[in-house]
Structure 1
């Protein structure tokens, strides 16, 4: 029972992070004011993982297009599916 609650919380947090990754990817297209606190907050949460993926998988940047958000969302969806299968 407690384990299901913990897994549910982790899944919810991973879903929120997935949305933050999507928002960060969309923000890269509109080039918002970098001094905006919301933009800084979203980038501070997502950019470290983007950088990690770019370092470990340099092929995710193709012709100047950064595909690391797609890789991250794919990975998060796999983790979420595994956690959901563990729930009773």
Structure 2
């Protein structure tokens, strides 16, 4: 059972990394450090978007309209951190 929890923690770490990469990339695109016309940047951006849009869409349906501020990535990261805390605090139960 511990190995399943460790695998779940690894999956949460990968999801956290992907969300952080998407956030940082969006900042770099908005500040014109990265250009979507570059093939690699465009492929990464649209790939991350296709991967994260189902999660963000569900969160956006719950969140109120903020007028241009997207809080879905922040809420997703908070959910990952909360799940990680719950798993780590309850891990001794499975030894």
* Superposed CA RMSD: 1.8
Match of residue 74 from structure 2: 70
Deviations 1:22-78 (A, max 9, x none): 11122222334276322222222212111110012224xx23111111111111111
Q: Determine whether 1:8 maps to 2:6.
A: yes
- TM-score under structure 2 normalisation? 0.75
- Structure 1 runs (4+) greater than 3 angstroms displaced: none
Match of residue 84 from structure 1: 88
- TM-score under structure 1 normalisation? 0.80
Q: Distance in 1 between matches of 2:26 and 2:57?
A: 14
Q: Determine whether 1:33 maps to 2:36.
A: yes
Q: How many residues align?
A: 84
Structure 2, unmatched stretches of 5+, are 30-34
Q: Using the TM superposition, give the Cα deviation of residue 13 of structure 1 relative to its aligned residue in structure 2, in angstroms.
A: 0.8
Structure 1, unmatched stretches of 5+, are none
Q: Which structure shows the bigger proportion of residues in strand conformation?
A: 1
Q: Determine whether 1:45 maps to 2:51.
A: yes
Q: Which of 1 and 2 has greater Rg?
A: 2
